[in-house]
Amino acid sequence: MSDLAPYAGGVVSRDARRAGREISRGRLGTQVRLAAVDDVTDLAMGKVESLTMATGSAMQSVARVASAQRQLEQMVPEASGRLAFLADDHLLGCAELLGDLRRDMRRIR
C-alpha cells in the first residue's frame, strides 16, 4: 500500500512542500528533455526529406542526360565517346553536389 494520501486540507509540512517542489522540478526537467528530443527528431526528419528530394532530382537529371546521350549517339555514332564523357561528368557533378549537401547537413545541429 502507498504511503501517499490525498491532501485533506490544513497546514502542509515543510517536508511535504519540499517534496512537491522536487516532483515539479523533475516533471519540468522531463518535459524539457522531451522537447529537446522532439526538436532533434524534427531536424533529422527534415534532413532526410531534403536529401530524398535532392537525390530524386539528381536521379531524374542523370536519366534525362542518359536518354539524350542515347539519342545523340544514334544520330552521330562517332561522337559516342565524347557524349559518354559528358554524361559521366554530369553524373559525377551530381554526386559531388549531393555529397556537399550531406556534408552541409551534418553541420546543421
Which set of grid coordinates corresponds to residue 52? 530524398
Which residues, in sequence order, are CB contacts of 91 under 8 Å at separation 6+?
62, 65
Average pLDDT, the chain: 91
Position 36 pLDDT exceeds 70: yes
Identify the residue whose cell numbers are 551530381.
Answer: 94
9 is a domain residue: no
pLDDT average, residue stretch 64-90? 97
Structure confidence at residue 66 (pLDDT): 98
Position 79 pLDDT exceeds 90: yes
Poorest-confidence range of 21-25, 53-57, 98-102?
Answer: 21-25
Q: Output the CA torsion sign for 44, 50, 52, 54.
A: negative
26 is a domain residue: yes
38 is a domain residue: yes
pTM strictly above 0.85: no
In the chain, the number of structural domains is: 1
Which set of grid coordinates corresponds to residue 64? 534525362
The total of other beta-carbon atoms located within 10 Å of residue 21's CB is 10
8 is a domain residue: no
pLDDT average, residue stretch 18-25? 88
Which residues, in sequence order, are CB contacts of 95 under 8 Å at separation 6+?
58
